[in-house]
Amino acid sequence: MADIIDLSLVLESRKYLKKLLDARGVGYFLAPDARRPFRLEPSKVDLVVRAAARSGEERRGPPHAKAFEHARGEVRRELIRRVVAEMIQVGL
């Protein structure tokens, strides 16, 4: 079975992610855990994708579960890239 990818959901998710990164920085998405300091908080990733899904729901209906998972993965990958870039800048 083919994977379902909603490109408009991915695009909206990236827009919301950029807005949140500009407003709050990458630290907003990190879990406040001293043992694992660079762990992404799943609820913050979900917040981005849910906000993107709500913005387009009236135009295209609720997103498919697999499309939601794909968008969540894309947001996580972008955040991981940003966290790694920050770690390299700091010298960790």
Asked which of 19-23, 38-42, 72-76 is least confident by mean pLDDT, the reply is 38-42
- Print the domain residue range for 79: 7-90
Tally of structural domains, the chain: 1
Question: d(Cα 63, Cα 56) in Å, to the nearest integer?
Answer: 9
**Residue 81 domain-assigned (yes or no):** yes
Residue 24: inside a domain: yes
Q: Is residue 2 part of a domain?
A: no
pLDDT, tens only, 31-65: 887 677 788 999 999 999 999 988 876 667 777 78
11 part of a folded domain: yes
Instruction: Determine, yes or no, domain membership for 49.
Output: yes
